[in-house]
Structure 1
Amino acid sequence: MIYTHEDKRNKELSADCGNCFGLCCVALYFSASEGFPTNKDAGKPCINLQSNFTCSVHKNLRDKGLKGCTAYDCFGAGQKVAQVTCGGHDWRQAPESAKQMFEAFLIMRQLHEMLWYLTQAFILQTDHGIKEEISSLLYNTEHLTLLDVDSLLALDVVDHRAKVNILLKNTSELVRTKARSRKNTPSRNRNANSRRLDYFGTDLRKTNLKGADLRGACLIAANLRGVDLSGADLIGADLRDADLSGANLTNSIFLTQAQLNTAKGDSLTKLPMMLVRPTYWSK
């Protein structure tokens, strides 16, 4: 069975704050040192969350230095828990079930993140047999997002993620191998295809990153201006304050909106079709 509803799924995996109950502003732990308003315990509402579940400073988050807020992305988990799992009953209306709702949100966010990656893997994968495996896991994962609260909380997310990671790694190797084998890659450039995790503040403008394995890499404040990241696997990479001005990310893989929101870029930065240019990037 082949999964064929990428467009519908990508819409469902985008945050719809109007149909949520400010779950990310309540369920999550906040640290002021990471760009949030103040230190906040999980389960406690943010000081800027209003009674209608909107943010009182939403339009000025960047001006106030709240980078953590602008970077966060729930992958659509918020509205799924609010409207499907909890049937439209918010945590203020049903305070006795608030703790369950917050815990369900944390699990749902992980499942929706997996759906995001699996959807891209399905599109990229050319091996028919593996494509069917991805399709099956997509359907299975979506089914899990429709579980009732008790079943969702009992779910072994770690085990499910392990199954997902096998297929993501397989697809990553396929895409990266093709990217590295393409002609016209300047041989004079340093090559970063070997596994490395720490690029903190590194100038990578003369490094060949086509098809690079950057899974979980620290790219904080790295200089990637004008770098071609075609086929590079960026799953879990930390791009905080990385300079992507003029970089080519069109065919990079497993990049998320949240990662882009933490980086710097400009009008010349080329992005994958499903991602949008942050409004605060330079022109």
Structure 2
Amino acid sequence: MSDTTEPPSAGPAAADRPALRADCADCFGLCCVALPFAASTDFAIGKDAGEPCRNLRADFRCGIHSRLRAEGFPGCTVYDCFGAGQKVSQLTFEGRDWRRHPGTASEMFAVFPVMRHLHELLWYLTEALALPAARPVHGALREALRETERLTLGSASELRELDVAAHRDRVNQLLLRTSELVRARIPGNKKNRRGADLIGADLRGADLRGANLRGACLIAANLTRADLTAADLIGADVRDADLSAADLRGAVFLTQAQLNAAKGDAATRLPPSLTRPAHW
């Protein structure tokens, strides 16, 4: 692992995205009711989409929020709506919650996943615009950001009818180009492990600078002391991966949810836009 390569700066724009961070106080517990989950190591119980979690209180707060991991709900601690919950609750449905206005429930629950996809794209686009290496595509990125934001302001019916997969595909082309521009600044050969099965892989001290790890399965991989400077981690599954003392500064498209799902320690170096999980 090298200490001489300066990580790409994400800049202040990447560190200041309040509208793209979950604000549960302004949400009607949408992730706790709209989404299904199965009984597993991530969830102590299972439930169907549209069925409120048994831990959801009348005020839309979680009754075991401070004890989620201890109570068998680590999956809840790694979920991130990127601010979609409060937008659907307070903007799309103008503060009308599904309990007092049950006629809104089915539409609200259908709109929430669409908004979540759009807000995730807004997060990535905002990050891309803060990367100096992506300057050649900043114009196209700004246009995509404006269009994505415009879509989030649509009515509930417009959001339900949106072909969000097609929009994601268009935006992804720009994000891929951004990744290529950032990773090209790292000298030497870069590893291409896009979509690779790296479950439990021993990657201790690995030089993964500028690596393409898009969609890679890194569940329980040992990345202790690995250098992931400028590595593209979009969609990578890092559940229970050991990131102790790893260098993630300048990692491309890393999210808080990914960090929350992984393991790390006080020596793990993080991008300025993300925070060290409490369970590390």
| TM surpasses 0.5 | yes
Q: Deviations over 1:219-257 (max 9, x none)?
A: 001000111100100000000000000000011010111
Question: After the TM superposition, which segments of 4 or more aligned residues of structure 1 sit over 3 Å from their partners?
Answer: 4-9, 125-129, 191-196
Other-structure match for 2:266: 267
Q: Deviations over 1:106-140 (max 9, x none)?
A: 10000000001111111125454511000011011
Give yes or no for the alignment of 1:169 onto 2:176.
yes
Other-structure match for 1:64: 71
Distance (whole Å) between structure 2 residues aligned to residue 33 and residue 148 of structure 1: 36
Other-structure match for 2:116: 109
How much has 1:34 moved relative to structure 2? 4.7
How much has 1:62 moved relative to structure 2? 1.4
Distance (whole Å) between structure 2 residues aligned to residue 179 and residue 140 of structure 1: 31
Other-structure match for 1:244: 243
Other-structure match for 2:48: 41
How much has 1:88 moved relative to structure 2? 0.2
**SS of residue matched to 1:179:** coil
Distance (whole Å) between structure 2 residues aligned to residue 5 and residue 278 of structure 1: 21
Whether the aligned pair in 1 keeps the contact of 2:41 and 2:72 (CA below 8 Å) is no
The unaligned stretches of length 5 or more in structure 2 are 1-10
Whether the aligned pair in 2 keeps the contact of 1:125 and 1:131 (CA below 8 Å) is no
How much has 1:193 moved relative to structure 2? 3.7
Q: Deviations over 1:73-106 (max 9, x none)?
A: 0000000000000000000011111010011101
Give the letter aligned to residue 197 of structure 1.
Answer: A
Other-structure match for 2:158: 151
Matches within 5 A, 1:1-283: 6=13, 10-126=17-133, 128-181=135-188, 192-193=191-192, 195=194, 197-281=196-280
Whether the aligned pair in 1 keeps the contact of 2:20 and 2:119 (CA below 8 Å) is yes
- Which one is further off, 206-215 or 164-173? 206-215
Give the letter aligned to residue 27 of structure 1.
Answer: A
Whether the aligned pair in 1 keeps the contact of 2:14 and 2:273 (CA below 8 Å) is no
Please report the RMSD computed on the Cα atoms of aligned residues, expressed in angstroms: 1.9
How much has 1:180 moved relative to structure 2? 3.7
**SS of residue matched to 1:88:** coil
How much has 1:37 moved relative to structure 2? 3.3
**SS of residue matched to 1:116:** helix
**SS of residue matched to 2:221:** coil
Whether the aligned pair in 2 keeps the contact of 1:229 and 1:252 (CA below 8 Å) is yes
- Which one is further off, 117-126 or 86-95? 117-126
Whether the aligned pair in 2 keeps the contact of 1:193 and 1:209 (CA below 8 Å) is no
Distance (whole Å) between structure 1 residues aligned to residue 252 and residue 133 of structure 2: 15
1:193–1:101 CA distance, 2 compared to 1 (3 A): same
Give the letter aligned to residue 96 of structure 1.
Answer: G
How much has 1:207 moved relative to structure 2? 2.8
Whether the aligned pair in 2 keeps the contact of 1:125 and 1:171 (CA below 8 Å) is no
Q: Deviations over 1:144-199 (max 9, x none)?
A: 11111111111110111111000000011111121244xxx9xxxxx744556111
TM-score (norm 2): 0.92
Query: How many residues were matched structurally?
Result: 270
Percentage of identical aligned residues? 54
Whether the aligned pair in 2 keeps the contact of 1:229 and 1:248 (CA below 8 Å) is yes
How much has 1:9 moved relative to structure 2? 6.6
Whether the aligned pair in 2 keeps the contact of 1:192 and 1:207 (CA below 8 Å) is no
Whether the aligned pair in 1 keeps the contact of 2:127 and 2:253 (CA below 8 Å) is yes
Give the letter aligned to residue 71 of structure 1.
Answer: V
Distance (whole Å) between structure 1 residues aligned to residue 12 and residue 84 of structure 2: 18
